[in-house]
Structure 1
């Protein structure tokens, strides 16, 4: 009988707590705003064209220019999303990746590369500060990061399946030159 009373008391306490929580709930007026955005910048209304150019950054350069910059003829897109990727058939396959972090920070990207064990070197691409990132364990792979003129950071990574011809950073620097020059 004592166990029954204890269970009954526990159920009663749970009901009382649920009632208090329900009474304490409140509504907040206004619309949510993403961190870093101004009030009024996010209307909450879905515009039919809002997502039309969501992956437009993956078309920042035509595929033939990507292929040519890495020594190939054709660049086949293999993934368009947060990172844009292409496979270029040169003498051997070359993987090319591009990303544009619109709210990214140049210093954050450089610090991250260093924390991951990459060696970085400051370079200038089209009068813009940039840096290369190389993995000492994979010397034929190179990435180049630069501030994007419209905000954030651009990064190009090039990874050949065989040995890189010449300096591994030549191709990603060439790709960065193309987008920073507006030659697309």
Structure 2
């Protein structure tokens, strides 16, 4: 009987805590780290940007394919991230440009995800490679964008390729930082 009472008491306590936590509110406004309240309006008049997705056209598909050792590249997504599939080796290539991205935060995030990072320089810009030890054939390269924010190229072959897995994303970063297109 004592055990039943204790069990009921535990259940009631858990329910009470759950209900109390569900009813909690926090005063204030959610604000992105490093920003002041009211500075991020959350809306963008896209009519002001005639080339809103131009970053996905920063390099021709043929140049992307050649840089990673393929013959053709077909874009399969334009948006926050730009993606291509390179043939015939089946290599996924991803590019993103975070206009307000923070280089150090990006590196810290990669390390928190368990990726190994290595500082490099690409076209005199600070950069780093990021590698997932669980997927040794995959490499990403992040660099500071001359226009602000950060660029990142990821190259993910379906199967291991000969040579340095970071050679492709480093080459793509060199091309974008020199304005090659």
TM-score normalised by structure 2 residue count: 0.75
Q: Residue 75 of structure 1 corresponds to which residue in structure 2? A: 73
Residues 161 and 148 of structure 1: CA distance in aligned 2, closer, same or farther (over 3 Å) = same
Q: Residue 143 of structure 1 corresponds to which residue in structure 2? A: 140
Residue 176 (str. 1) matches residue 173 (str. 2): yes
What RMSD over aligned residues (CA atoms) do the two structures have, in Å?
Answer: 2.1
Partners of 2:72 and 2:50 lie apart in 1 by 26
Shift of residue 52, structure 1, vs aligned partner = 2.5
Q: Structure 1 runs of 4+ off > 6 angstroms? A: none
Residues 170 and 52 of structure 1: CA distance in aligned 2, closer, same or farther (over 3 Å) = same
Gap runs ≥5 in structure 2:
1-37
Shift of residue 73, structure 1, vs aligned partner = 1.3
Which of 1 and 2 has greater Rg?
1
Matches within 5 A, 1:74-113: 74-90=72-88, 92-113=89-110
Shift of residue 164, structure 1, vs aligned partner = 2.0
Partners of 1:135 and 1:45 lie apart in 2 by 35
Gap runs ≥5 in structure 1:
1-32, 38-43
Partners of 2:45 and 2:171 lie apart in 1 by 38
> Secondary structure of the residue that 2:163 maps to in structure 1?
coil
Partners of 1:57 and 1:34 lie apart in 2 by 25
Q: Residue 58 of structure 1 corresponds to which residue in structure 2? A: 56
Residue 166 (str. 1) matches residue 127 (str. 2): no
Q: Residue 133 of structure 1 corresponds to which residue in structure 2? A: 130
Partners of 2:108 and 2:137 lie apart in 1 by 21
